[in-house]
Amino acid sequence: MKTSIPVRVLLLAVMLVSALGTSTQAFAKSEAAPYLPAQIIIRSTTFWDATFSGTVNADRFERWSLQIEEASSFSVTVTALTGDLVPSIYLLDSGENEIASAAGVSSETVLTTTQPAGEFFIQIQPASGGGTYSMVIRKTDAPVVDPNAVIVLNPASIDIGDVSTATVMLNNVPEGGYASSEFTCSYDVAFVEVSNSSEAGLFGSDSAVVLNGPQDGSFIIAIAGSNGQRAMSSGAAFTFSVLGLQAGQTTITCQVRVSTGNSLTTLDPVSVTLTIAEPEGTITGTVLASKPVTVTLYNQDSSVAATTTADENGNFSMTAPPGSYTIVASALGFLKAQGSPTVTGGGTTVMQTIQLLAGDIDGNDVIDQFDAMTIGFNYGLSTPDAADLNNDGIIDVLDLELLAANYRQAGALNWQ
């Protein structure tokens, strides 16, 4: 009798383990630990909007069956409850092939996915650590969006005198479509001029169109499908041209009313902002030197507005917004030239032709004995480049000759 009690306890323990779930030895693949052997515990069928709990560690993964009766978007949220668990989520198809995953980086991991109807498995395993967790599965189908309109400008920023194309679109057209639509649009006549309004075919071929205006900053365009045709999907209803008249930002607004047949529904007003800028101007000129010349344009705050390298003949050209600038021409081993040009929108500012003076080898804006000493110390060599004033590849008396011609000259040259 004494020996039968332990046997009964052992049998009871075996029965309890069998009742809790089945298991199988498998190789579970994860990015954190590829092909780690672990025991896969098969758990009972899951369902929407419920909380499930389980335990995983390096030797134990859990796999939950999931049956989807229709195509659905859903999320799986796994939150660690105890231990140092960082959970990862793997969605498997009926053949146990991975089709989606969310690698864990914290105590909570979320997998969001859209899948067709079918049999699936949700496998929970640790990215690191182990412990207990809770799991919630919820549908996340996209919310219904009401019908609306939108204005798209291409481009959204133009120069004075340039044209942008505005496209007015109807979105989320309801089932059954629209029989007609009316657009009342307004704008600031000081900034823009509107023209070329044209329906875009959303209401079918040969639709009936009425245009009133534009006049005094507004116009109305009404479109109705002919012979039973309707706007059945989202898309462009009509377009119009917008000419920029002066610099600044201006708003174009359209009030939209739509009809599914014999009655009008007002949609929320829609607006768009157009930025109009003064056109850039151009600065050109010629800078002569036996070395490559760099021309740099500086803003009033000393930041660089533009820079370029003159061609082999010293000619350069650059563009910049209207305004006052400082311009500097430089070449290695030469005194700089500096001016203060004003750029006008759409205009061309021509700088006078200027010859840079050779000999400022140390770049201190003075041609003196220290520059000559540099030539002496490096006589017959090819470096430093600043001392090779004639750019012939050797530092010699010809470079000294160029320096001597400008000896004692100082400061940046005045450039008009």
3 state SS of 122: strand
DSSP string over 16-49: HHHHH-EEEEEEE--SSSTTEEEEEEEEPPP-TT
- C-alpha pair distances (Å), 5 with each of 10, 15, 18, 36: 9, 16, 21, 40
Whole-model pTM?
0.54
Chain centroid to CA 215? 38
CA distance 317 to 350: 9
pLDDT in tens, 119-140: 899 999 999 999 999 898 988 8
Q: Name beta bridge partners: 345.
A: none
- Distance, in Å, from the CA atom of 270 to the CA atom of 280, rounded to the nearest integer, reads 31
Specify the amino acid at residue 175: E
Q: Let me know how many helices (H) and strands (E) the chain has, helices first.
A: 3, 32
Residue 169: the pLDDT is: 93
Question: 3-state class of 276 per DSSP?
Answer: strand
- Residue 157, SS3 per DSSP: strand
Residue 210 neighbours by CB under 8 Å, 6+ apart: 220, 221, 222
Tokens found for residue 119? 């049999």
Question: Rounded to whole angstroms, how far apart are CA atoms 314 and 337?
Answer: 13
Indicate the DSSP class of residue 274.
E
Question: CA nearest 163: which of 276, 271, 250?
Answer: 276
CA-to-CA separations, 45 to 48, 50, 273, in angstroms, rounded? 11, 11, 53
What are the tens digits of pLDDT across the range 50-102? 778 899 999 999 999 988 888 888 999 999 998 999 999 999 998 888 999 99
Which two three-digit tokens encode residue 214? 């534009």
Query: What is the distance between the alpha carbons of residues 170 and 182, in angstroms, rounded to a whole number?
Result: 11
* pLDDT digits (tens), the chain, 416 positions: 333 333 333 333 333 333 334 444 443 333 333 334 567 777 766 667 777 889 999 999 999 998 888 888 899 999 999 899 999 999 999 888 899 999 999 999 999 998 888 889 999 999 999 999 989 898 887 566 789 999 999 999 999 999 999 999 999 899 899 999 999 999 999 999 999 999 999 999 999 999 999 999 999 999 999 999 999 988 899 999 999 999 999 999 999 999 998 889 999 999 999 999 999 999 999 999 999 999 999 999 999 999 999 999 999 999 999 999 999 999 999 999 999 999 998 899 999 999 999 999 999 999 999 999 999 999 999 999 999 999 999 999 999 999 999 999 998 999 99
Integer Cα distance of 280 and 346 in angstroms: 6
Looking at residue 88, its amino acid is: S
Return the exposure string of 69-87: e unless at least 16 CB atoms fall within 10 Å of the residue's CB, then b: eeeeebebbbbbeebebbb
Match 């793997």 to its residue by tokens: 90
